[in-house]
Each structure stands twice: as C-alpha cells, then as structure tokens.
Structure 1
Amino acid sequence: MAGGLQASLLDAFEDPELGSLDGVQRTELGQGAWIDVLPGWLAGADQVFDRLAVEVPWREERRQMYDRVVDVPRLLCFYGESDNLPLPVLDEARELLSDHYMEELGEPFRTAGLCYYRDGRDSVAWHGDKIGRGAREDTMVAILSVGEPRVLALRPRPGSTTGKVASTIRYPLGHGDLIVMGGSCQRTWEHAIPKSTTHTGPRISIQYRPRGVR
C-alpha cells in the first residue's frame, strides 16, 4: 500500500524524532484566524509513513452526495480519546502540541484522525472542521504530514471578510511538516487537499483535535 513514496536521503536513515515547536511561524489571516507552520518538525517521517501505511486499520467510506452515494476519495482511521495511537511518536507529538498551545487553547488535544491520500486522485473538498464546537467557538486543529508533499489550500469562507488575506494560499505539506489552524479559522476559512493531475506520491496526515471538534 505504501508504493510510490520517494524517501528523502536523510530521512530514510533517521529514527523518528520531534523537534522544538519554538520555530513555528504564525500568519495572521484576519477576524481572529491564524495558521502556524513548521516544516520538518518530525525527523524520520518517511519511516513513520511506511509503518502507518501497513499497520493502521485503514477503511474506505461511502457518503451521501446530493442524490447519490459516492466513495470517499481517501482512506480513513479515527482514534478517540481512549484509543492508543499506532506509534509512540504520535502520542509524543500530541503531548508536545498540547503543552505548547495550552495557554491559547486552554485544553489538550485529545483525538487523532488519520487520512491516507494514495495518489493525486485522492482529495478532500473545501470545508471547515465545524462538527461540534468548531461551528461556534475558536479552536485549533494541528496537522502533521508524512509521505510525499500534497498542497493544503486555504481560502476565506464565501461571504466572510478576513481583513488581511483575501485570496487562496497554498502549503505543500509532507515529510514531517506541521500546520496548526487556530482561532476562528474553522469558521471564517475553508481548507482542502485538491486533486493533482501530475504524478503524486502517497501522503498520510494526522489531525489532532480537542474534545468535541471534528
């Protein structure tokens, strides 16, 4: 299932290790929304990808889309608060993120949703994580990416006026990169993983969320 990943020369020989979060770079988006980005937070990320690709109990889903039921174009796995994460380094990442953002978030990250984008045909449409408290409260979603980079695009929600950034912004995330969407981002902005028409290797994202946010 992990075929197609092009490991970086250094990453292939590194044991998984998380760096400091002190180097995150914040971009203010307006109306209380912001994003933090830290490239290469997880060293040895390609090894993590290889293990997750074969050890996680991935599942396919089908969802109602207007008048028909369609395949979800990615594989999924969700770990609730009482579930053990598949690798210790993912537990460590959740703890470090909780400690770093505790003052702003006011609570720890508790759940982890994993998505497996097998190639450029897999994607996720424009959306905000607004199931639960994210629809009415400021919150955070932290995404750790392993595998080949895929573009995560963000744009202001239609009808909102951000006051700072008015167009789509794009971040190619993979090989241990971290992005954190905070403040009002889930209500005033949307994000997506667009389909790619070029040759695209596989990527896995790990999305950490607080209780009651999906």
Structure 2
Amino acid sequence: MAAHLQGSLFDQTDELRLGTLAGTRRTPLGHGAWIDELPGWLRGADALFEQLAAEVPWRAERRQMYDHVVDVPRLLAFYGETESLPHPVLARARDALGAHYAAELGEPFTTAGLCYYRDGRDSVAWHGDRIGRGQREDTMVAILSVGAPRDLLLRPVRGGGTVRRSLGHGDLIVMGGSCQRTWEHAVPKSARAAGPRISVQFRPRGVR
C-alpha cells in the first residue's frame, strides 16, 4: 500500500516529537472564520508517514455521482472516540490540541479521520465539514499532514478569493470559528509530480 516518499531535507530524523503549539499563527479569513498554522509541528513526520501508509487498514470507497458510481480518489480510515489511534504520537497530538484550544473550543478533540493521497491524481472536492454540529455551530478541525506537501485551498461559500496553503512533512493547520459553515476547502488534483501524503483530521464529537 505504501507509495514512495521523497523525504524532507529539513526533517532527517526517525524520532517522533511534537513541538510547542505556542508558535501557531492565526489568520482571520472573514465571516467569523480563521485558520491557525504551525509548519513542522511534528518532527520525524516522514517516519510516521511510512508507518501509517503500511499499517493503517485503508479502505477504498465508491460513491454515487449523478448516474454513475465512481471511485473516491483517495484512501480513507476513521477512528472513533473509543478506538485507539494507529500510533501513540497521534494520541499525544490530539490531547495537546485539546489542551491548547480548550478555552476556545470548550470540548476535546475525540475522533481522527485519515486520508491517503497516493499521488497527484488523488484529491478531495470543495466541501465543509457540515455533517452534524458543524452545519450550525462554530467548531474546529485540526489537520496534521505527513508525507509530501499538497495544496489545501479555502474559499468563501458566498464567493471571493481563494486562500492556498501547502501542507506536508509534519505541518499543522486548524480551521476554526465559522470556517466549516462559511468557507469550503479542497485538495485539488495536481498535474505536477506529487508524492504521497496522509492527512489526519482531528474533530470534536458530532462533527464530520
């Protein structure tokens, strides 16, 4: 299942270590939405990518698209709040995020969804995480990226400019406030040679 990853020249270690969240950088997006960013939050991220790619029970899904059933262009895995995460560092990341954002979020991050983008042909279309409470309440979704960088795009639901961020090799982005209701995000296909990437999305209970 594992695809070849060109490792980062700036993270040549197999020791998995989370940095401090005190260095997060907040960018207001408008309409009550914001993103926090922290490049390289996880050191040793390439080693984690290799283990997750090889050991997570990835599943391929098919979905109805108009008159056809099509393959979902990425592999998926989901860990509910009572399930053990596939690596201890992900549990530490979830708990660290919950502690850091406790005052704003008011509840812990409880679930983890994993997406495996095998190459530039894999993608996710424009969407917001609006299943459950995210449709009507402000919430947070924290994404830890390991593997090769891919672009994450964000745009206002009602129209406007697109925000682009390149995420990989242990980078963290947190989408907060009204982001899931008033903005959409996507990982587009890439015509450039794109290495494999795994994103880990931490969410509170009742948000998908």
TM > 0.5: yes
Superposed displacement of residue 32, structure 1:
1.0
Match of 2:198 in 1: 204
Structure 1: tracts of 5 or more residues without a match = 160-165
- The within-5 A match list for 1:166-177 is 166-177=160-171
Following superposition, the deviation at residue 13 of structure 1 comes to: 2.2
Number of the residue aligned with 1:149:
149
Per-residue CA shift, 1:41-93, capped at 9, x if unaligned?
Answer: 00000000000000100000001112211100000000000000000000000
SS at match of 2:207: coil
2:80 corresponds in structure 1 to 80
1:21 maps to what in 2? 21
Give every structure 1 segment of 4 or more consecutive aligned residues whose post-TM-superposition deviation is greater than 6 Å: none
Offset of residue 2 of structure 1: 2.6
SS in 2 for 1:12: coil
Preserved CA contact (<8 Å) 2:13 2:43? no
Q: Distance in 1 between matches of 2:5 and 2:112?
A: 23
- TM-score normalised over the length of structure 2: 0.98
| Partner secondary structure for residue 11 of structure 1 | coil
Q: Deviations over 1:176-214 (max 9, x none)?
A: 000000000000000000000010000000000000000
Distance 2:15 2:35 in 1: 28
Q: TM-score by structure 1 length?
A: 0.95
Question: SS at the partner of 2:109?
Answer: coil
Aligned AA (2:180): Q
CA distance in 1, matches of 2:10, 2:121: 28
Matching of residues 72-111 of structure 1 within 5 Å? 72-111=72-111
Q: Is the 8 A contact 1:12 1:47 kept in 2?
A: no
CA root-mean-square deviation: 0.9
Q: Name the SS of the counterpart of 2:40 in structure 1.
A: coil
Listed one character per residue, the Cα deviations across residues 99-151 of structure 1 (whole Å, up to 9, x for unaligned) are 00010000000000000000000000000000000000000000000000000
* Distance in 2 between residues matched to 1:131 and 1:83, nearest whole Å: 20
Q: State the AA in 2 paired with 1:155.
A: R
Give, as a single letter, the amino acid of the residue that structure 2 aligns with 1:130: R
Task: Indicate conservation of the 8 Å contact 2:34/2:179, yes or no.
Answer: yes
User: Paired residues, what number?
Assistant: 208
Aligned AA for 2:96?
A: L
C-alpha distance in 2, partners of 1:211/1:3? 32
- Provide structure 2 residue ranges, at least 5 long, that are not aligned to the other structure: none
